[in-house]
Amino acid sequence: MLIRLALAWMLGIVIAHELRPAAPWLWATAGVALVVMLVTRTHPRSRTVALLTLCAALGALRYTVTLPIFGPASVTTLVERGELTLEGFVAADPRRSEDAQRVVVQVEATRQSQTTTAVEGLVLVVLPPYPAYNYGDRLRVVGKLQRPRPAERSGDFDYQAYLAHRGIFILMQEPKTAQRLPGATGFAPLASLLNFRQHCRAVLLRSLPEPQAALAVGILVGLQASIPPEVYAAFSATGTSHILVVSGWNFTIVAGVLAGLATRLRLSRGATLGLALSVMWLYALFTGASAAVLRAAAMASIAAVGHAAERRSEPWRLLLGGCWLISLADPHTLWDLGFQLSALATGSLFAFAQPVERWLAPHRPFCWPLMAPLTEALTATLAAQVLTLPLILYQFGNLSIVAPLANVLLVPMVPYAMLFCTLALLGGLLWLPLGQWLGPLAWLPLVWLSEGARLLAAPRWAATQVPVFPLWVLLGFYAVVAVLWLRANRLLPNASSTTQN
């Protein structure tokens, strides 16, 4: 029942996004469903339908509550009013690249024609890379406001919708001036954590040569601004770009290493799970505790609990229950591509890891004991691709031909890279020369990753673009896979048996 309730909740969120029903109608639907539940206690099917309807209505109401209300003090009223001055504070960790930094500013006041007016709302300000601004800094920027452009045609990336799900409806590109003001605002512990992460980045950059230092920062700290474009392109072409970011995969690696350590120490299953969850969430805080990182930690925690459970159905309850909790905290998460890929990858591992493992086991060289680490990496890669690859093709149209081989050759090296990068970082935090002495240990696996990705991406056929296809094709694929999987696991009756009955 938990699975059906979670699906109904998320379906209600999607319906509210597409149809935008008025809140009174949703409250009326929830009330009717509740009454039906109370008066149909002797009719289980009717009561179940009413319960699912109630859950969907509540999901729709939760989404409706998050929709912005643009009042007279909203910053959106200042669009296309010419050059003006905004004052506020940096509300999130800026996203940096080689040529710019994207700063989300929580606006508090505006100045225009010697008049200061209180305003509210978020503005995405695109600034030069230097001077670098940090979370909590107070800023004064001068420029023109504009709205993000929507997608020009169906299937294109909709930047306007992408920002809207993050509460941002206004841009200021290339402001005339930007000035840091005295004082700081924001949550002090988060500011300290982000400053410590920048310090760790600086230590890694001074402990390793490039581009290995940039890879270490991306893999361990979760900052990709210093990764050269050609290196990132090589990982993208080989279908291994997940290595460069802090994702559910990183947390799964941490959990796997801890599980192996706990086995050697002969810890109980509960103690092993507790150790894995504790370290994963500490790692999430260390990497900045951004929304994407927290979602990745949540999905990896669900996967760890699911694998530790003895009942076959328990992982699915945990997965859907986790998705429900995440969408309860922020319904707009359902439109986050990172969340979608994490949820699909986790579900795909639950559904297809064992069939892929059984398919590979009888064949050489996968049956050789020495090939166990590579076989495990290939099993996880192929299993995860079943549900994630169609979404990647729909969103980006990039099909990596060498992705299975690249994941087999590169992914097993990631735990070693994380381990030795951690040692170099800890040594550098204690004493910078110590980190530089330990740096060569991390340099070897990092070179394997960077050079391996470069060589595998070199052939012209390494990656290809597939034609754009509509959304209904993607949804149809998932529907077919779901029906086949349910029938294979005897959770859905076959048509022949239904006819006979």
User: 302 near 281, Cβ under 8 Å?
Assistant: no
85 vs 338, which has greater pLDDT? Answer: 85
- Which pair of structure tokens corresponds to residue 71? 């009042």
Q: Please state, in angstroms and as integers, the Cα–Cα distance from residue 122 to each residue in 17, 90, 107, 171, following that order.
A: 21, 10, 6, 9
Higher-confidence residue of 280 and 335: namely 335
Q: How many helices (H) and strands (E) does the chain have?
A: 18, 9
- Strand intervals (E) in 329-426: 398-400
| pLDDT grade for 306, boundaries at 50, 70 and 90 | low
Residue 263 has pLDDT above 50, yes or no: yes
pLDDT at 344: 85
Whether this prediction's pTM lies above 0.75 is answered by: yes
H or E segment to which residue 427 belongs? helix 414-430
Higher-confidence position of 164 and 270: 164
Tens digits of residue pLDDT in 424-463:
999 999 999 998 999 889 999 999 999 999 999 998 888 8
Q: Where are the domains of the chain?
A: 2-66, 75-186, 201-469
Round to whole Å and give the CA distance between 381 and 383: 6
Closest CA to 334 of 150, 63, 93: 63
To 5 degrees, how large is the angle CA 286–CA 343–CA 236?
A: 75
Cβ 221 vs Cβ 200: under 8 Å = yes
Q: Which CATH superfamily is domain 75-186 in?
A: Nucleic acid-binding proteins (2.40.50.140)
Gap between the Cα atoms of 4 and 230, Å rounded: 45
- Mean pLDDT along residues 467-493: 82
Segment 181-192 shows an average pLDDT of 85
pLDDT tens for residues 132-159? 899 999 999 999 999 988 877 666 678 8
- Under the banding of pLDDT at 50, 70 and 90, the label for residue 499 is very low
Spatial separation of the C-alpha atoms in residues 141 and 245, rounded to whole Å: 31
**One-letter amino acid for residue 292 of the chain:** A
User: β-pairing, 84-90 with 101-112?
Assistant: antiparallel
CA angle 98-102-106, nearest 5°?
160
Closest to 247 (Cα-Cα) out of 270, 224, 263, 214: 224
Q: Is the pLDDT of residue 69 over 70?
A: yes
Please tell me the distance from the alpha carbon of residue 281 to that of residue 181, in angstroms, as a whole number.
34
Residue 310: which pLDDT band, with cuts at 50, 70 and 90? low
Cβ neighbour number for residue 325 with a 10 Å cutoff: 12
pLDDT for residue 372 is more than 70: no
DSSP state of 220: I
Question: pLDDT tens digits for 105-116?
Answer: 999 999 877 778
Rounded CA separation 77/331 (Å): 26
Which residues lie below 8 Å from residue 305, measured CB to CB, with a gap of 6+?
A: 273, 277, 315, 318
396, two tokens: 């980006």
